[in-house]
Structure 1
């Protein structure tokens, strides 16, 4: 299931993101969710992308499918059903001066107008019983939670030579399913604020384990012999607007650079993964200066993004605590865009319209 041009298939959280600003206005709804962001970012950067999942036959599902198609994704396995409602995530922006911590937003599934909740539904649908017989070719398979469909697909992709990336936010109710996902994955990435030590879950001895640490950067370990942690500090940036999607950009950037430098995780060393993660950190940092999980793509073209990220990665010092010219340039363009273009939004007031 390997391809010449890098491509990614994946399953997990595909949701409609609705940003609720401080004044109560709402940004135009768009594709979101961890799996949605990672696949669509890589699609925008030129990869093939094939999302696999079941959405509702509603306006939200239509928008998600449309956003994937805009980046050239293969949506044949992104199915819709009248028996489902597409998940909708409301991202409430926070006043950082009044907040007690560094949070820029909070997420909820509850509609701010009517209170109804459009939550994800993780029970596998009978429609997907035959999916494994028709899996699209891919260099990488991504899953952000251990569902039966996702784990079975991960095991099949791994057996066919693809690289499996598992990015969980929780162990979930089925520990056995989580263990299967962890064992199938060549790369496991998670946030320290959500998961602790995964040593008890039998990660692959030759796999890559990445733990993100918020404003403190991240750490990773790889290799069968030396399992010590390598630490990468966070980049310092001129300002922070919104940290939503930061981890997704880091993942997408890491994969983009890994597959530009090597034929997957089996041929890389510690230095290669360090470079790829630093590249991902640059993308993450840039996006934190924009609004929304994929705001970076609204400011710079994919070519600009890649060139700037490579420049900043190469210029990084040992400490990483500096404001690179790349970030100053981007901050200028963010300000220019904000001053000349009205923030996107529409007049909908309730999830019933989605």
Structure 2
């Protein structure tokens, strides 16, 4: 059984994509290695903001998987359930940032190794056979988060909803329509991007979510609830100097959960329209802050937590912030071949972070 959560620390259990993100930016040509994927970004971001965060996944102890574990542990994420049986090769996503014709940074994702051309390993959901054991281990978190559907994710959502947890569903694709519809009947918060929802828009017509959020990129977002105000309400985006927009949708969720949903479903049920609007403005601000750094969570490596929060406060006040950088380096003297399973890496030992021992890296999670 996991240790009880510390006083005043909210807890999130997350099922979904945890991957190794390899980012090729404009500021430095060397690749940077992050723990990523929507699920990975959400647990890392919330842990950075003081939450107890537990991702569940089937990551092997391969080179990529050890990078993911080491980075998540840096921020205080509980990684004990990242290697559920049967494990599979760790998913890898390559992000390449380029400058568009009008000078705006744009990113694209690549799914194959630039060294050997092989496709990177895909996401593998937790098996249904693990669900009963997980129920016993995980207790009742404030929030159960899922970024895609599987039978295990739906069963866990059903269980945690019965226990009183808030169910937060953030799909990036439709997947199995039957499972998708089941999750729509269980979730309390439904969040999706307008761009990605094109592939599952028909499924969204029937859901039971109390709060529905559609992100609109540079146009901000819109939301509505099922109770007192059913028409869409808009929240504008903050204008900032953009270096990379990757991960900003994840930060919108991180910002909303940390600001409004620390008490789980109980917090959502007592929220007024103005409270939801205020918290979504906060979420948009934290997403905008992320856009000022390369990588899906670049700000976490450039700013201490105290500087991060100062910069966020300044952005919300529309004043320039003192964003003095601390630069935790993610640059490894490696090529993508070192983590690509098809290229045949032979050393599966956990890589060091920033040339430090693992324990020293984990201690940075408490830095203020």
TM-score, structure 1 length as denominator? 0.85
Alignment correspondent of 1:321: none
Which residue of 258, 261, 270 corresponds with 1:259?
Answer: 261
| 1:329–1:208 CA distance, 2 compared to 1 (3 A) | same
Provide the C-alpha distance between the structure 2 equivalents of 1:123 and 1:45, rounded to a whole number of angstroms: 27
Q: Are 2:296 and 1:293 equivalent residues in the alignment?
A: yes
Structure with bigger RCO (C-alpha 8 Å, 6+ apart): 2
Provide the C-alpha distance between the structure 2 equivalents of 1:260 and 1:82, rounded to a whole number of angstroms: 33
| 1:123–1:165 CA distance, 2 compared to 1 (3 A) | closer
CA contact (8 A) 1:57 1:81 kept: no
Deviations 1:279-337 (CA, angstroms, capped at 9, x unpaired): 11111111111010111112222233334434544x4xxxxxxxx21xx325x646xx6
Which residue of 304, 325, 329 corresponds with 2:321?
Answer: 329
My pick for the range that moved more, 262-271 or 57-66, is 262-271
Provide the C-alpha distance between the structure 2 equivalents of 1:250 and 1:136, rounded to a whole number of angstroms: 26
Give runs of aligned pairs for residues 310-329 of structure 1, distance below 5 A. Answer: 310=313, 312-313=315-316, 315=317, 324-325=318-319, 328-329=320-321
CA contact (8 A) 2:84 2:126 kept: no
Give runs of aligned pairs for residues 72-111 of structure 1, distance below 5 A. Answer: 72-79=76-83, 84-97=88-101, 104-111=106-113
Alignment correspondent of 2:334: 347
Which residue of 116, 127, 140 corresponds with 2:118?
Answer: 116
Q: What is the count of residue pairs matched by the alignment?
A: 333
CA contact (8 A) 1:20 1:93 kept: yes
CA contact (8 A) 1:163 1:264 kept: no
Q: Are 2:205 and 1:167 equivalent residues in the alignment?
A: no
| 1:163–1:91 CA distance, 2 compared to 1 (3 A) | same
| 1:260–1:177 CA distance, 2 compared to 1 (3 A) | closer
Q: Are 2:60 and 1:56 equivalent residues in the alignment?
A: yes
Give runs of aligned pairs for residues 1-354 of structure 1, distance below 5 A. Answer: 4-21=8-25, 25-79=29-83, 84-97=88-101, 104-125=106-127, 128-129=130-131, 130-172=133-175, 174-196=176-198, 197=201, 200-204=204-208, 207-237=210-240, 239-259=241-261, 263-310=266-313, 312-313=315-316, 315=317, 324-325=318-319, 328-329=320-321, 333=324, 344-350=331-337, 351=340, 352=343, 353=345
CA contact (8 A) 1:21 1:92 kept: yes
Provide the C-alpha distance between the structure 2 equivalents of 1:198 and 1:176, rounded to a whole number of angstroms: 13
Provide the C-alpha distance between the structure 2 equivalents of 1:224 and 1:198, rounded to a whole number of angstroms: 22
SS in structure 2 of the partner of residue 189 of structure 1: strand
TM-score, structure 2 length as denominator? 0.82
Deviations 1:181-224 (CA, angstroms, capped at 9, x unpaired): 1111110000001114467542216x100000011100000132
**Alignment gaps of 5+ in structure 2:** 349-368
What is the CA RMSD across the aligned residues, in angstroms?
2.8
CA contact (8 A) 2:56 2:126 kept: no
CA contact (8 A) 2:141 2:165 kept: yes
**Alignment gaps of 5+ in structure 1:** 316-323
Provide the C-alpha distance between the structure 1 equivalents of 2:302 and 2:128, rounded to a whole number of angstroms: 41
Provide the C-alpha distance between the structure 2 equivalents of 1:260 and 1:124, rounded to a whole number of angstroms: 26
Deviations 1:161-181 (CA, angstroms, capped at 9, x unpaired): 111110001111x11100111
